[in-house]
């Protein structure tokens, strides 16, 4: 018996969810989508131990780190802190003990670890009360409090599960006293339906009952504060005459209990303490229940009893007449498709007035599923552990039993990790995809052709064959037998067609034309002409014959019964029959029995009409000079409106055919209807719904060709490009776009859009669509088959949201919780407030608590006595008012759910802004006194005015003096600018001689070669006169060489001039990549020759040491050149003071008289031995570039070294320098992000260092 009790405990208690004989299981698989909410979404940690919805509508969750509130938008986390100084704060942390909502709206929290305990939370005051046990006796609290229920006396019952034992405990919330009862093995709470199967309170007399671990039924004696024995284990149950072991107890809806025994269950009256009725399987006693082992029972909210037995047997009992219905899992009224197969038990997890949820578990094994029974429809739904939605994020490694149904019947699941919210709008359509493990699933996810036949069968054409949907939502692939008799797939199905006789024809790109043999459920292949195996289209004419279009062959007329070839229109006979195209894609027979054929390619073929009496085709061509011809040769569709007029859609517009005149009229709106899609929908009164590519969206055309109404993105369509269009039974047009589906209501002329978040596929505008007789919309494409039930999709959730004002801003302060002054309760519980006159800037935050899709809830508000009308509905949840006048106001806000169902009452708050003190009665007494006082002050004012005039005169004089000072300062600035310009011109002047020397060399070459060339021309003339052309050719060759050299030296001179211009030109501030080695070499050479031009006796030894690995650096070359020139000239002037250089003139080296060929070649000194020396070096140091200019001059004295970079400081005689050279150089280097440093020692020389950032490297970084 103990073993059986353990099995019962594992299974909890049965909740039967089944269907009466009058109802049947829906063939369509129901799916429920869920959304995950975890740490990434705002939870403080992953483990959600319990969830409740409070009276205001908030969702609360407990975790291991505290309490969490969710409003549909964000989370508010209240963390527990054991050492919180404020006693109204939460001091408990690990709330694994669960949460219950008290009858007064308070939340009760159970904690384990961290000393454990219980806490209550009052949402109105936002205050906690912490209850920590202090007893130290043997039955004291062991700090692991698992809550059970609140009784009618507002005492909290819980299980205290210690490390070594478990006892039942009670908290008196008013006194804070704990009572403990020495009963172990009672078990913690399973869910709100069952509690723990061991304890409950009778609603009739508030008695508390307990079933102990030895199966003794007890009741609490409140006077003695102990549980008294009522029914012993295995004893006769009073009033029943049956001895039975009670394994569990649960509460019925009428105040009675269900005592669940080993042989059945008993209806127990807790007041009279007697059994009212027993349902058992005891022979010769009561045979209400079958002989199969009994597992459990429960009473639903409608009063019916549900009994569960082994082997999946369920008994439904009507208590009024004790009639029973037996249902077996997986059979009859309880069919389960692909469900659990082993022995199962059903356990209740959630119940309300609409129905109840159960979890289905295997007795042995880890598999589970769910079921839901709907009281109103008496229908049963079966769900796998992902609720039949493969994309659900639910865990698959654990059984989830923790459910919450909110006020709107939305389902919440909480576990570890995360909690999950039902998302009805996330998957509003059914996606059917191929399942490799299921041979009855659709055989391909690529669906390009769909047809519903007269028997309401759905046929699907795919690249790999044909699928037939069966009534039970299974699919069967059909085959044909080839010549060898082997069953084969139909291949790429390009056309499915049902003729008037109900015969199913299929056109295949691989196997030609086929027809279904209904008796064998196989297709027969018709090889009506050799070599034809690709069928584009099939159309039945008014005689019952079939017109078959075949790729690259032509069109064939076949007998509709035998498929015998009657007539062919191939390319070879086009002169005879007039059909020029061999790739007809569109075929349409109008009400006048004219057969129209269209070619969709970009060619000169296009449209044809079959002339029956002539047995040939008429070709309708495009003629841009004829306004009554077709727009284009590319035919998109051919159709007929309800007035019998033929419309032809083309790649460049739509055309309307005039039967009498045999002409086409063109629509002239090329902007909105440039290129039509291949689909349309017939409207009334000669109108047509069409779409285009690159146009204005959905168009209603007719009855006139230029009568057009456009409904595109500006009217609410997701995207203007829609390839397919279909109308449902409700008068809505369905338009798939790359952004989702747009549904257009043709009555209200409004769009409703469905995107990926609604479960609709995006990027699928070419998806074929079909409306079946039952009103469903089907869509194919590349990713499976979509089934849409428009009636179900358009159903609105009828529950309005709970609307709350959550916080209020007053001036710069934001209030949500009570502050003890303005708000004595939480803002959401406050109805009115009083404010001071200066508290006139107000803001309000509000929320509509409805969780189907909170982000789509709408809000509208109004401040009475300020706003005349309600605000336009929007998703905004905050509004503000500024500078309000004193007075009485009432702020009102209302909200809607995502389906537009409004809570018109909403929430409101009355606000009184008091007037300022100066508008009170006693203030006016003060005003009289002030008038008298002001008369006296007027006299004083006149006196003060006189004094003020004198003061202003003094101020004007001071102002004039200030202006003169300002003018002097401006003149000084202009003088400074002129001095700077003079400094720049001085540097240019110093370059002039050097540049002249630089230019002189190439000019000498030009002059010399010009003279030689002139002489050579004369020699050529003489040789030609002497008749010696060979010698003339040789001279001409030399002449050509001379001209090349002239050009070379001319370009060299031009380059020197360009460099001079660049130096003299004002810098534009643009940095360019520059070779610093070349720049240093150039300015060293120019400075040297400039110095020589001023003093022919000047000589110095010039040395360069350039780092060949130096990268190009982004600088302003003119500015850096000026710096180099200044430093080098200073060096020359310094070394010129080291001694008399004139006596060394005779030691010139010829190598210094010619210029080097490249910047890498060092200039050689024309001095022998020791003497003045200038050295310029470049070096790359890490991410810096260093340029040094050194000399062996007399050096710079220490007392002036710190002054050399100051403006106007100079050691030169008056008139020989401005003192701005080094100052400008220092500023230029700083502007480049670099440094200019000097190191000098008297008698040894000076070194200037320019350090620049390696800008190229930084940019690459």
Q: What is the model's pLDDT at position 311? A: 82
Positions in the chain short of pLDDT 70: 1-29, 84-85, 114-115, 133-143, 163-164, 333, 365, 968-969, 972-973, 975-998, 1000-1001, 1052, 1055-1069, 1138-1170, 1214-1218, 1255-1261
Beta bridge partners of 361: 345, 368
Per CATH, domain 1066-1260 is 3.30.565.10: yes
Q: What is the model's pLDDT at position 23? A: 28
How far apart are the C-alpha atoms of 185 and 41, rounded to whole Å?
A: 38
Three-state secondary structure along 119-153?
EEEECCCCEEEEECCCCCCCCCCCCEEEEEEECCC
CA angle centred on 526, ends 587 and 547, rounded to 5° = 15
pTM above 0.85, yes or no: no
3-state secondary structure of 854: helix
Instruction: Dump the DSSP string for 740-791.
Output: EEEEEETTTTEEEEE-GGGT--SS-TT--EEE-TTS-EEE-BSS-EEEE-HH
Q: What is the model's pLDDT at position 792? A: 87
Q: What is the model's pLDDT at position 980? A: 59
Fold of 802-915: Immunoglobulin-like (2.60.40)
Encoded tokens for 382:
């079966």
Encoded tokens for 856:
């789509």
Q: Which residues contact 654 (CB under 8 A, 6 or more apart)?
A: 631, 647, 648, 666, 667, 673, 676, 688, 690, 701, 705
Question: Do 802-915 and 1066-1260 have matching folds?
Answer: no
How far apart are the C-alpha atoms of 159 and 180, rounded to whole Å?
A: 10
Q: What is the model's pLDDT at position 987? A: 58
Strand 769-771 to 750-754 pairing? unpaired
Q: What is the model's pLDDT at position 705? A: 95
Strand 236-237 to 465-469 pairing? unpaired
How far apart are the C-alpha atoms of 787 and 530, rounded to whole Å?
A: 40
Q: What is the model's pLDDT at position 84? A: 67
C-beta of residue 346 within 8 angstroms of C-beta of residue 360: yes
C-beta of residue 557 within 8 angstroms of C-beta of residue 567: yes
Q: Which residues contact 216 (CB under 8 A, 6 or more apart)?
A: 229, 231, 232, 233
What would the pLDDT profile of 937-973 be if each residue is shown by its tens digit?
Answer: 888 888 888 888 878 887 887 788 777 777 766 776 6
Q: What is the model's pLDDT at position 150? A: 95
How far apart are the C-alpha atoms of 413 and 416, rounded to whole Å?
A: 10
Q: What is the model's pLDDT at position 186? A: 79
What would the pLDDT profile of 561-580 be if each residue is shown by its tens digit?
Answer: 999 999 999 988 999 999 99
Domain residue spans of the chain? 716-796, 802-915, 921-1054, 1066-1260
Strand 117-122 to 107-111 pairing? antiparallel
């Amino acid at each position: 018996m103990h073993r059986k009790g353990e099995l019962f405990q594992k299974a909890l208690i049965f909740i039967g969810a089944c269907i009466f004989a009058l109802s049947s299981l829906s063939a369509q698989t129901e799916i429920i989508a869920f959304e995950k909410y975890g740490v990434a979404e705002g939870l403080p940690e992953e483990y959600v131990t319990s969830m409740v919805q409070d009276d205001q509508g908030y969702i609360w969750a407990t975790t291991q780190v505290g309490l969490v509130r969710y409003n549909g938008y964000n989370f508010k986390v209240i963390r527990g802190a054991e050492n919180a100084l404020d006693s109204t704060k939460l001091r408990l942390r690990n709330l694994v003990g669960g949460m219950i909502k008290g009858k007064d709206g308070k939340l009760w929290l159970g904690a384990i670890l961290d000393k454990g305990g219980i806490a209550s939370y009052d949402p109105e005051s936002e205050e906690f009360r912490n209850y920590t046990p202090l007893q130290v006796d043997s039955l004291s609290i062991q700090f692991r409090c698992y809550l059970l229920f609140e009784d009618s006396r507002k005492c909290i019952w819980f299980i205290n599960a210690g490390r070594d034992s478990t006892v039942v405990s009670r908290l008196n919330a008013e006194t804070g006293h704990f009572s403990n009862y020495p009963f172990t093995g009672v078990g913690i709470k399973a869910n709100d339906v069952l509690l723990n199967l061991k304890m409950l309170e009778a609603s009739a007399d508030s008695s508390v009952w307990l079933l102990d671990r030895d199966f003794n039924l007890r009741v609490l004696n409140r006077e003695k504060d102990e549980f008294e024995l009522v029914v012993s284990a295995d004893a006769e149950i009073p009033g029943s005459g049956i001895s039975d072991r009670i394994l569990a107890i649960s509460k019925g809806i009428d105040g009675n209990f269900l005592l669940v025994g080993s042989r059945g269950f008993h209806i127990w009256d807790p007041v009279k303490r007697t059994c009212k009725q027993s349902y058992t399987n005891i022979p010769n006693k009561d045979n209400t229940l079958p002989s199969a082992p009994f597992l459990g029972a429960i009473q639903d909210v409608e009063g019916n009893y549900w009994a569960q037995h082994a082997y999946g047997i369920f008994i439904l009992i009507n208590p009024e007449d004790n009639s029973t219905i037996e249902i077996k899992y997986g059979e009859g009224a309880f069919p389960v498709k692909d469900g659990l197969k082993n022995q199962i038990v059903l356990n209740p997890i959630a119940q309300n007035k609409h129905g109840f949820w159960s979890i289905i578990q295997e007795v042995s094994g880890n598999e589970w599923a769910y079921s839901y029974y709907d009281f109103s429809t008496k229908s049963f739904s079966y769900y796998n552990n992902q609720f039949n939605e493969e994309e659900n994020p639910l865990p698959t490694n654990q059984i989830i039993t923790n459910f919450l149904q909110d006020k709107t019947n939305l389902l919440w699941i909480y576990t570890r990790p995360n909690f999950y919210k039902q998302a009805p709008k996330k998957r509003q359509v059914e996606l059917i995809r191929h399942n490799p493990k299921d041979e009855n699933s659709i055989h391909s996810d690529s669906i390009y052709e769909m047809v519903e036949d007269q028997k309401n069968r759905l046929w699907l054409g795919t690249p790999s064959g044909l699928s037939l949907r069966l009534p039970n939502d299974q699919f069967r692939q059909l085959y044909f037998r080839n010549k060898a008799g082997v069953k084969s797939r139909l291949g790429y199905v390009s056309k499915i067609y049902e003729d008037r006789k109900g015969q199913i024809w299929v056109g295949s790109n691989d196997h030609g034309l086929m027809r279904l043999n209904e008796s064998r459920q196989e297709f027969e292949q018709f090889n009506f002409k050799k070599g034809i195996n690709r069928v584009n289209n099939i159309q039945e004419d008014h005689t019952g014959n079939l017109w078959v279009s075949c790729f690259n062959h032509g069109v064939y007329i076949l007998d509709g019964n035998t498929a015998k070839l009657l007539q062919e229109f191939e390319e070879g006979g086009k002169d005879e029959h007039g059909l020029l195209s061999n790739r007809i894609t569109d075929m349409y027979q109008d009400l006048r029995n004219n057969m129209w054929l269209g070619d969709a390619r970009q060619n000169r073929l296009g449209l044809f009409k079959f002339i029956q009496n002539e047995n040939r085709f008429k070709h309708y061509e495009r003629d841009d000079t004829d306004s009554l011809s077709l727009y284009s040769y590319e035919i998109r569709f051919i159709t007929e409106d309800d007035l019998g007029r033929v419309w032809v859609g083309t790649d460049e517009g739509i055309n309307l055919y005039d039967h009498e005149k045999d002409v086409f009229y063109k629509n002239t709106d090329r902007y909105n209807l440039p290129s039509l899609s291949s689909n349309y929908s017939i409207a009334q009164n000669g109108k047509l719904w069409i779409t285009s590519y690159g146009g204005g969206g959905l168009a209603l055309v007719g009855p006139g060709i230029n009568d057009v109404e456009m409904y595109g993105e500006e009217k609410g369509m997701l995207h203007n490009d829609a390839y397919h269009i279909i109308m449902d039974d409700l008068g809505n047009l369905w338009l798939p776009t790359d952004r989702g589906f747009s549904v257009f209501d043709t009555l209200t002329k409004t769009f409703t859009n469905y995107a990926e978040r609604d479960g609709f596929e995006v990027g699928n505008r070419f998806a074929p669509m079909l409306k079946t007789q039952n009103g469903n919309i089907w869509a194919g494409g590349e990713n499976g088959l979509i089934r849409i039930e428009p009636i179900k999709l358009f159903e609105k959730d009828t529950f309005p949201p709970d609307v709350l004002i959550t916080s209020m801003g007053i001036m710069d302060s934001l209030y949500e919780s009570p502050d003890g002054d303005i708000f004595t309760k939480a803002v959401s519980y406050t109805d009115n407030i009083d404010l001071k006159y200066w508290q006139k800037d107000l803001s309000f935050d509000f929320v509509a608590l409805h969780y189907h899709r909170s982000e789509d809830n709408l809000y509208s508000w109004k401040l009475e006595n300020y706003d005349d009308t309600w605000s336009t509905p929007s998703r905004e949840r905050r509004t503000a008012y500024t500078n309000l006048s004193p007075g009485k106001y009432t702020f009102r806000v209302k909200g809607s759910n995502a389906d537009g169902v409004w809570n018109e009452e909403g929430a409101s708050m009355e606000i009184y802004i008091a007037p300022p003190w100066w508008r009170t009665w006693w203030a006016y007494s003060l005003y009289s006194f002030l008038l008298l006082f002001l008369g006296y002050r007027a006299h004083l004012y006149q006196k003060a005015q006189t004094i003020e005039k004198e003061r202003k005169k003094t101020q004007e004089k001071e102002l004039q003096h200030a202006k003169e000072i300002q003018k002097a300062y401006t003149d000084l600035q202009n003088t400074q600018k002129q001095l700077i310009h003079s400094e720049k011109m001085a540097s240019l002047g110093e370059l002039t001689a050097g540049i002249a020397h630089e230019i002189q060399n190439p000019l000498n070459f030009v002059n010399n070669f010009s003279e030689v060339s002139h002489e050579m021309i004369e020699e050529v003339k003489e040789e030609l006169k002497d008749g010696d052309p060979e010698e003339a050719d040789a001279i001409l060759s030399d002449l050509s060489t001379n001209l090349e050299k002239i050009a070379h030296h001319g370009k060299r001179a031009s380059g020197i001039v360009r460099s001079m211009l660049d130096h003299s030109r004002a810098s534009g501030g643009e940095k360019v990549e520059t070779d610093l080695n070349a720049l240093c070499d150039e300015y060293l050479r120019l400075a040297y020759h400039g110095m020589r031009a001023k003093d022919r006796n000047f000589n110095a030894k010039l040395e360069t040491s350039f780092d060949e690995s130096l990268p190009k650096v982004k600088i302003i070359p003119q500015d850096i050149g000026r710096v180099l020139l200044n430093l080098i000239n200073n060096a020359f002037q310094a070394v010129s003071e080291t001694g008399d250089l004139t006596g060394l003139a005779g030691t010139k080296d010829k190598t210094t008289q010619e210029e080097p060929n490249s910047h890498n070649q060092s200039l050689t000194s024309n001095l022998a031995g020791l003497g003045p020396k200038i050295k310029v070096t470049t070096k790359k140091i890490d991410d810096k570039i260093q340029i040094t200019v050194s000399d062996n001059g007399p050096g710079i004295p220490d007392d002036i070294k710190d002054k050399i970079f100051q403006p106007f400081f100079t050691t030169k005689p008056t008139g020989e320098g401005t003192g701005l050279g080094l100052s400008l150089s220092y500023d230029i280097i700083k502007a480049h992000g670099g440094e200019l440093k000097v190191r000098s020692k008297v008698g040894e020389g000076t070194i200037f260092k320019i350090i620049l950032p390696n800008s190229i490297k930084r940019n690459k970084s």
